[in-house]
Amino acid sequence: MSGPRLLDPQTQALLDAVAASGALATHQLSPAQARSAYLSRRDTLQPPPLPVGKVRDIEIDGPGGALKLRIYRPGADTDTNTDTNINTNTDSLLPALMYFHGGGFVVGNLDTHDTLCRALCNQACCVVVSVDYRLAPEHAYPAAALDCIAATRWTHANGAKLNIDTTRLAVGGDSAGGQLAAVVSQSCKGELDLAFQLLIYPITDARMQSESIERNGQGYLLGKRDLAYYYDHYLAGRDVCLEPMASPLLAPDLSDLPVTLVLTAGFDPLHDEGLAYANALSQAGTKTQYVSFARQVHGFILMGRVIDEAQLAIDTCASALRRALHTESR
């Protein structure tokens, strides 16, 4: 017999503070205001960024012009998992994770997810390539997806130049970024032999029909009206919700996709579609693990300064990445 649904006390305290502040919800802001507000929360909610071996920003030719990438490389003194003997010298060949940030396709950038990318780089002992894809409404569907696909293909083609082992290339992201990772995996199936996909509370069904959108659609940071705001900007009013590039859950064939970890939050409007995608992958024969942080809200993995379980979630993601990318059989 299940008991009442309870939030993590630290998360409840955060929600109480947000409510007391009178801050406007995302759907009440312009895209520019929403981007500024999202970035400003970094200093109050995220822990300080950890050092890594090397970070550099580059630009490549993308579908819509210059596309920025930030490349994180671990160093021997930044590997936080010293129980294994992995060569992390500057010139060593390492596996890599393509990371696509969250933010509803409207907000977020390389800086909003810098701390998370550094943690994954260190703990999974892999290169992380963070992608600054185009945002809506200036660049509507499917611009973000096309940028992420192009960045993944470019990284795969330039693995030797980047000291990346492209036989061990993973994709991942949170929220909208999780959707983009799923889209990249589907789009590159049969072309790139991706090793893993990390889907952190992903968007998988843009039809907004799941029970958790109603159950968790108000009072838990990401609201139902915020979701509609994001979709209105990204999908630009077009009837594309049935297309797999908008709703990866609806793809006709989910077999032969990379080994997957799906992570969800219990008080997240996206909870049910994340679970549905994990189940659909498993039913299609794709090796999938599913973890739900039952007492958390959407976006919590970026809130390690105030929510302890954020680090546990990062540990979970990094451990799965490390196992997938550093297994001798690959």
Question: What structural domains and CATH numbers belong to the chain?
Answer: 15-325 (3.40.50.1820)
Strands (DSSP E) along 175-234, which ranges?
196-200
Q: What is the mean pLDDT of residues 238-262?
A: 97
Measured between alpha carbons, how far is 257 from 267 in angstroms, rounded to an integer? 28
Catalytic residue among 175, 185, 212, 247: 175
Q: Is 268 a catalytic residue?
A: yes
Compute φ and ψ for 256, nearest 5 degrees. Answer: 60, 35
- Which residues contact residue 80 at a Cβ distance below 8 angstroms, ignoring those fewer than 6 apart? 122, 123
**Mind listing the pLDDT tens digit for each residue in 283-324?**
999 999 999 999 999 999 999 999 999 999 999 999 999 999
The dihedral formed by the CA atoms of 179, 185, 187 and 189, expressed in degrees to the nearest 10: -160
Q: Is 205 a catalytic residue?
A: no
Contact of 280 with 288, CB cutoff 8 Å: no
Answer with the residue of higher pLDDT: 78 or 82. 78
Identify the pLDDT of residue 79.
Answer: 53
What does pLDDT average to over the chain?
Answer: 95
Confidence of residue 81 (pLDDT cuts 50, 70, 90): low
Q: What is the mean pLDDT of residues 138-153?
A: 98
Identify the pLDDT of residue 82.
Answer: 46
Answer with the residue of higher pLDDT: 2 or 238. 238
Catalytic residue among 165, 205, 268, 272: 268
Least Cα distance to 11 among 160, 219, 276 occurs for 219
Q: What is the mean pLDDT of residues 194-216?
A: 98
Answer with the residue of higher pLDDT: 88 or 276. 276
Confidence of residue 329 (pLDDT cuts 50, 70, 90): very low
| Tokens at 277, concatenated | 């995608």
Pairing of strands 94-100, 164-174: parallel
**Mind listing the pLDDT tens digit for each residue in 16-25?**
999 999 999 9
Percentage, residues of the chain above pLDDT 90: 92
Percentage, residues of the chain above pLDDT 70: 94
From the number of C-beta atoms within 10 Å of its C-beta (0-12, 13-18, 19+), residue 222 rates as buried
Confidence of residue 43 (pLDDT cuts 50, 70, 90): very high
Q: Which residues pair with 260 in a beta bridge?
A: 197, 288
- Which residues contact residue 248 at a Cβ distance below 8 angstroms, ignoring those fewer than 6 apart? 179, 182, 183, 186, 202, 204, 277
Q: What is the pTM of this model?
A: 0.96
Confidence of residue 177 (pLDDT cuts 50, 70, 90): very high
Q: Is 57 a catalytic residue?
A: no
CA distances from 239 to 143, 206, 225 (A): 16, 10, 18
Identify the pLDDT of residue 330.
Answer: 46
Catalytic residue among 101, 139, 233, 298: 298
89: pLDDT strictly greater than 70 = no
Identify the pLDDT of residue 87.
Answer: 59
77: pLDDT strictly greater than 80 = no
The dihedral formed by the CA atoms of 98, 205, 250 and 259, expressed in degrees to the nearest 10: 30
Confidence of residue 327 (pLDDT cuts 50, 70, 90): confident
